[in-house]
Amino acid sequence: MHQNIKVSAVQMKILSGKKNLPVILRYLEEASAKGAQIICFPELAFNPNMKKPSEEGDLSTVQEASKKRNIYVIINGYFKIKNKKIYNRTYLISNQGLILGYYDKIYLWTNEKDKIARGQRVKVIKTTLGNIGLCTCWDLFFPEMIAKLKRSGADIIFCPSYWNDKLKKESKFLEYSPTVLAYHHMLFFVYCNSFLKGKTSISQITAPWGELSKIKYREGVIEATLYPGRLNRFKKHFETVLWGKNI
């Protein structure tokens, strides 16, 4: 990661794929107009219906928009692949409209188990913006998952999510985990949740030194500029503290 990057994350309602698409395209256009280089949408924003999953070719409209607006796009939904298996899949689309890669959710939620296929490996994708790691929603709960992304070279981790409020005990976890993970692994972390009524409707862009941007309990877009130079200085400071002669 060698350049400053302007990131956008959208906290939006998840309706149907047909209703969500124009909203996705609108937010994409708005983010690009404000200078964003990459935009992330919540889990299931492209298609929340596992009984009627999308195919990769259905992303063509988003690919065309990403090329036209010169912006990278991270988008998730239920997708069926050639072997007929269905995955909770996150795609990374380049600013040239190309699919650079995808990640299949490893830690499935209860309503997904036995209904869709489980991903098998973590994914870090090299881009002109840096090495982008992908995880999804419940993956956030498993520290080793994030550690593997770090060991695989991730500079930034994006986590699309659809985290509801049924247990009413998880808002603190969601509010503080992105910053803690950014701090612990010395990287940038983008948590992009859907807009759901309740205290878990939180999205944020974080760095090891704290929150860069946050949205709570409403629909909208957050933006932040990531400064790798500052991150490197932060890393060096803690390397000195940890490994200095004073220990």
Q: In what order do the strands lie in the sheet with 72-80?
A: 99-104, 86-93, 72-80, 38-40, 5-11, 220-226
Condensed to tens digits (0 to 9), the pLDDT of residues 158-187 reads: 999 999 887 778 899 999 999 999 999 999
Residues 138 and 194: their CA atoms lie apart, in Å, by: 13
Looking at residue 240, its pLDDT comes to 62
Q: What is the mean pLDDT of residues 13-30?
A: 97
Mean pLDDT in the chain? Answer: 94
| Residue 82 binned pLDDT confidence (cut-offs 50, 70, 90) | confident
Tell which wins on pLDDT, 241 or 2: 2
**Number of domains the chain is built from:** 1
pTM of this prediction exceeds 0.85? yes
Mean pLDDT of 103-110: 96
Position 24 confidence tier, pLDDT thresholds 50, 70, 90 = very high
Confidence of residue 246 (pLDDT cuts 50, 70, 90): very low
Nearest to 193 by CA among 220, 167, 211, 168: 220
CATH number at residue 53: 3.60.110.10
Q: Are strands 130-134 and 156-161 parallel, antiparallel or unpaired?
A: parallel
Q: By residue range, what is the domain housing residue 90?
A: 5-243
Asked if pLDDT for residue 37 goes beyond 60, the answer is yes
pLDDT given at position 1: 77
> Of the ranges 143-147, 166-170, 228-232, which one carries the lowest mean pLDDT score?
166-170
